[in-house]
A and B are shown apart, each in its own frame.
Chain A
Amino acid sequence: AQRVTQPEKLLSVFKGAPVELKCNYSYSGSPELFWYVQYSRQRLQLLLRHISRESIKGFTADLNKGETSFHLKKPFAQEEDSAMYYCALEETSGSRLTFGEGTQLTVNP
Chain B
Amino acid sequence: DTGVSQDPRHKITKRGQNVTFRCDPISEHNRLYWYRQTLGQGPEFLTYFQNEAQLEKSRLLSDRFSAERPKGSFSTLEIQRTEQGDSAMYLCASTRGFEQYFGPGTRLTVT
Q: Which residues of A contact B (CB under 8 A)?
A: 4, 6, 9, 32, 43-46, 49, 86, 88, 90, 93-102
Binding site for A on B (CB under 8 A): 3-4, 31, 33, 35, 40-45, 48, 50, 56, 58, 91, 93, 95, 98-105
> Is the pair B56, A32 in contact by a Cβ cutoff of 8 Å?
no
A-B contact pairs, 19 of them (CB 8 A): A4-B42, A6-B42, A43-B103, A43-B104, A44-B43, A44-B91, A45-B102, A46-B100, A49-B98, A49-B99, A93-B98, A94-B31, A94-B50, A94-B95, A96-B56, A97-B33, A97-B100, A99-B35, A101-B40
B9–chain A nearest beta-carbon distance, Å: 12
Q: For B50, give the chain A residue with the smallest CB separation.
A: A94
Min distance, Cβ A17 to any Cβ of chain B, angstroms: 25
Residue of A nearest to B56 (CB): A96
In the assembled complex, the Cα of A84 lies from the Cα of B44 at a distance in Å of: 16
Inter-chain contacts of B42 with A (CB < 8 A): 4, 6, 86, 88, 99-102
Look across to chain B and name the residue whose beta carbon is closest to the beta carbon of A9. Answer: B40
Contact at B43–A46, with CB atoms within 8 Å? no
Residues of B within 8 A of A95 (CB): 48, 56
Of chain A, the residue at the smallest CB distance from B55 is A95
Contact indicator A97/B45 (Cβ below 8 Å): yes
Residues of A within 8 A of B102 (CB): 43-45
